[in-house]
Amino acid sequence: MIDVKSIREDFPILKARPYGKDLIYLDNAATTQKPLSVIKSIDDYYTGMNANVYRSAHYLSGVATNAYEKARNKVAEFINAGSEETIIFTRNTTESINLVAYAWAMENINKGDEIILTVAEHHSNMLPWQLIAEKKGAKLRYVYLNEDSRLDMDSYRNMLSSRVKLVALQQVSNVLGIINPVREMTEEAHKVGAKVLVDGAQSVPHMKVDVRDIGCDFFAFSGHKMLGPMGIGVLYIKKDLLDEVPAFMRGGEMIDEVYEDRATFADPPLKYEAGTPNVEGAIGLAAAIDYLDGIGMDNIHKAEVDLTEYALKKLKEIDFVKIYGPLDMKDRMGVISFNAADIHPHDVATILDQDGVAIRSGHHCAQPLMRYLKVTATCRASFYIYNTHEEVDEFVESLKGIRKWFK
């Protein structure tokens, strides 16, 4: 198991004391905290190599460009992309998915075509496809859940046909914590000629991900959910699709030649990265990957499974708590959504906050799933490498304490 006590020393924000209480940060599905090595990497960029990349022949630009491309290579290795040209830097998962929607789907999805989603998708992997369906006359179809809160795979297989042009789904649910069988689903989709986009925002930070093993055509994730800075995201495009996906935005750096009436574009990945990129974000993401690699993704996954299993056991002992999602750890990650009797989740979160416990409350950018679950919102506790069993105990005790607020 990982040395959590040692890891916590690397995160200065964990020493914060809200309302004079120890901070218990359980909102990691929203964003993770940053270790000193990531913070220092950004400081090093601004104090030692701040310059625009690719554009200039001077020393600082060369150093910055080299660091930026090293970051791209590190990301490619981290998800086993096979080639740096398949790695495009974006602002976040949302922008990555929108790039696919505007650049690929607008060109390849037509009237009568079908797009398969799951009811549990984050809005970021739903709204772009609603737009495509509206603009192109395509149809959205949804995979719903079994009684165990996992995807109904029989229903999914029955949906597949030659009309399906895209399957877009999350690898891990940000509400239910379920790990979807994306490899199997990709294989099935490819049999009917459909492309597959996987939202990896909640998987890449917590488990070993191999995009070539999954076989998906597109894969998106964000840096800030895996110890990196905000404002940096990644889109992987399978190498044999790069010629099919046109440039998303046009402007500086992504060009080859520009004339008064036309232009030609740079080779991937630069043709997708118009304008000045988030260089410090890429460098910070590379530092975050180094930190995660130092612990080992398999070790991280095992530790989170252990912590989540412990938390589920404790929460199941509270008679007024209802948990949404699987109650066992089969194909499950460190996200637990719950409600406390008929108390509004915002009230629960506010009371816990007074004890220094930070959780999320609301619809978690998954309103269709909330309606499917017949609730307006839930509370959500989500764990990461710096959380402890002792913090879970304090979270549970604080939750039990709401009895004195609501009789």
Cα(200)–Cα(221) distance, integer angstroms: 5
Structural domain boundaries enclosing 329: 4-26+296-405
Which tokens hold the place of 59? Answer: 């020393």
State the pairing for strand pair 233-237/87-90.
antiparallel
- State pLDDT tens for residues 68-98: 999 999 999 999 999 999 999 999 999 999 9
State the pLDDT at residue 1: 75
CATH assignment at residue 390: 3.90.1150.10
- State pLDDT tens for residues 41-57: 999 999 999 999 998 99
Number of domains in the chain: 2
**DSSP H helical ranges for 28-161:** 36-48, 59-78, 93-99, 106-108, 127-136, 153-159
Q: What are the backbone dihedrals phi and psi of residue 5, each rounded to the nearest 5 degrees, phi first?
A: -60, -45
The whole-number average pLDDT for the span 122-127 is: 98
**Residue 35 is assigned to a structural domain of this protein:** no
Same domain, 19 and 57: no
Same domain, 288 and 306: no
Same domain, 18 and 68: no
286: number of CA atoms within 13 Å, CB side?
21
State the pLDDT at residue 146: 96
- State pLDDT tens for residues 304-350: 999 999 999 999 999 999 999 999 999 999 999 999 999 999 999 99
Same domain, 163 and 260: yes
Domain boundary among 260, 293, 326: 293
Same domain, 302 and 375: yes
- State pLDDT tens for residues 265-312: 999 999 999 999 999 999 999 999 999 999 999 999 999 999 999 999
Q: Is the pLDDT of residue 406 over 90?
A: no
Burial class (CB in 10 A: 0-12, 13-18, 19+), 319: exposed
Domain boundary among 293, 312, 332: 293
**Residue 32 is assigned to a structural domain of this protein:** no
The whole-number average pLDDT for the span 165-188 is: 98
Same domain, 328 and 220: no
Same domain, 321 and 284: no
Q: Is 365 a catalytic residue?
A: yes
**Residue 34 is assigned to a structural domain of this protein:** no
**Residue 171 is assigned to a structural domain of this protein:** yes
Q: How confident is the model at residue 407 (pLDDT cuts 50, 70, 90)?
A: low
Kind and range of the H or E element at 388? Answer: none
**Residue 33 is assigned to a structural domain of this protein:** no
Which among 365, 368, 388, 400 is annotated as catalytic? 365
Domain boundary among 293, 321, 353: 293
Cα(76)–Cα(69) distance, integer angstroms: 11
**Residue 346 is assigned to a structural domain of this protein:** yes
**Residue 306 is assigned to a structural domain of this protein:** yes
Same domain, 303 and 289: no
- State pLDDT tens for residues 231-268: 999 999 999 999 999 998 999 989 999 999 999 999 99
Whole-model pTM? Answer: 0.97
Same domain, 329 and 393: yes
- State pLDDT tens for residues 178-236: 999 999 999 999 999 999 999 999 999 999 999 999 999 999 999 999 999 999 999 99
CATH assignment at residue 274: 3.40.640.10
Cα(303)–Cα(11) distance, integer angstroms: 18
Helix axes 59-78, 279-295, angle to 10 degrees: 40
The whole-number average pLDDT for the span 125-134 is: 98
Which tokens hold the place of 299? Answer: 């070790």
Helix axes 279-295, 36-48, angle to 10 degrees: 150
State the pLDDT at residue 41: 98
Same domain, 212 and 235: yes
**Residue 242 is assigned to a structural domain of this protein:** yes
Same domain, 300 and 288: no
Same domain, 53 and 103: yes
